[in-house]
């Protein structure tokens, strides 16, 4: 009972200016990650892109992971394994596979499904209660994503539409990871959580890359796009993953999980701007979709803000005293 009350209380916390700042930074970096995946796929196959990305992230966080082993307890093992394998390792492959057939901007847009699945997982597994405005914010954000997809004529024009389902599966994986960080790993610091989680995520890919080491060397040295693809993956794994997943873990601990995953609403803005830079045009419907998405982010956080204002009223202050 106390666990459920604690979870509900966390959801009532307003997002601080620092949380909004982290949200913006994550949006800018993660919104650019789909372009980096696209560049990586110019030379490497999807599993190699995913493997290199996870390996670079693991190596960047390894010193912190070794230092954090002293904080590891038996109760942490399963949640950390889930965050590492389901929340990091699996999505890295699914996004790389999906982007062999759909564009990077569409992948970023479909990723906005994450808050919906986070709401479902948090409610189903941890009995977290969210108000109607939070649910409305999720639905408004999804409507914005639909508008953008419709404006771009859907995923079908980018290849096999079924490949978009790999992104949907990745968003479900993110939802499980987010809720377990929030409600099962709250006693660990963000850097401890993610560095230890990567110790579970990396081994399958390390084995794969060792087996394919010869192919990797051949592709890198002979493919015209080899070095540029490798550079893109190095940036993706270090800045786009190692740095940002620690920031994201910190954001989850600072505010409600729904607000934290609302970063997936603002990432499409960055993805579409990359599209403009790459020569694509933005229609009125796309602008309308972006505005709708941002409105969804506002609604998700609106309920918490109002509750705190109520608690700060003179009558409430008297009760607290």
Mean pLDDT of 70-85: 96
Residue 299: is its pLDDT beyond 80? Answer: no
Note the pLDDT of residue 70. 94
Higher local confidence (pLDDT), 263 or 213:
213
Residue 23: is its pLDDT beyond 80? Answer: yes
Residue 179: is its pLDDT beyond 80? Answer: yes
Q: What angle do CA 84, 85, 89 make, to 5 degrees?
A: 90
pTM above 0.85, yes or no: no
For the record, the structure tokens of 262 come out as 């609302």
Top-ranked range on mean pLDDT: pick from 9-18, 39-48, 99-108, 299-308: 39-48
Q: CB atoms < 10 A from the CB of 225, how many?
A: 16
Note the pLDDT of residue 283. 67
- The structural domains of the chain, with segments of one domain joined by +, span 15-306
Residue 195: is its pLDDT beyond 90? Answer: yes
Say if CB 256 and CB 304 are below 8 A apart: yes
Note the pLDDT of residue 314. 31
How confident is residue 156, by pLDDT bands cut at 50, 70 and 90? Answer: very low
Residue 178: is its pLDDT beyond 50? Answer: yes
Nearest to 239 by CA among 95, 30, 6: 30
Residue 203: is its pLDDT beyond 90? Answer: yes
**Residues 112, 171: Cα–Cα separation, whole Å:** 8
Note the pLDDT of residue 105. 75
């Amino acid at each position: 009972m106390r666990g459920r009350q604690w979870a509900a209380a966390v959801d009532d916390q307003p997002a601080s200016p620092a949380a909004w700042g982290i949200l913006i930074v994550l949006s800018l970096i993660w919104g650019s990650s789909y372009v980096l995946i696209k560049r990586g796929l110019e030379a490497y196959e999807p599993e190699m892109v995913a493997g290199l990305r996870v390996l670079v992230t693991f190596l960047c966080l390894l010193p912190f992971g070794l230092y954090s082993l002293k904080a590891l307890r038996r109760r942490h093992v399963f949640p950390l394994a889930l965050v590492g394998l389901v929340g990091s390792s699996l999505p890295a492959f699914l996004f790389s596979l999906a982007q062999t057939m759909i564009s990077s901007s569409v992948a970023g847009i479909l990723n906005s499904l994450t808050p919906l699945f986070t709401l479902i997982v948090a409610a189903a597994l941890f009995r977290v209660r969210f108000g109607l405005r939070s649910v409305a914010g999720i639905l408004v954000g999804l409507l914005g994503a639909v508008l953008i997809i419709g404006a771009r004529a859907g995923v079908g024009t980018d290849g096999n539409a079924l490949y978009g389902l790999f992104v949907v599966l990745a968003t479900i994986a993110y939802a499980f990871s987010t809720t377990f960080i929030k409600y099962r790993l709250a006693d660990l610091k963000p850097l401890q959580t993610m560095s230890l989680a990567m110790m579970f995520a990396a081994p399958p890919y390390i084995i794969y890359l060792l087996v394919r080491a010869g192919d990797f060397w051949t592709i890198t040295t002979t493919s015209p796009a080899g070095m540029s693809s490798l550079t893109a993956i190095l940036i993706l794994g270090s800045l786009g993953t190692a740095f940002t997943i620690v920031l994201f873990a910190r954001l989850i601990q600072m505010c409600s999980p729904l607000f934290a995953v609302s970063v997936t609403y603002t990432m499409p803005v960055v993805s579409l701007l990359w599209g403009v830079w790459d020569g694509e045009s933005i229609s009125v419907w796309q602008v309308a979709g972006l505005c709708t998405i941002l409105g969804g982010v506002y609604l998700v956080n609106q309920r918490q803000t109002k509750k705190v204002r109520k608690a700060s009223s003179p009558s409430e202050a008297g009760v607290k005293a």
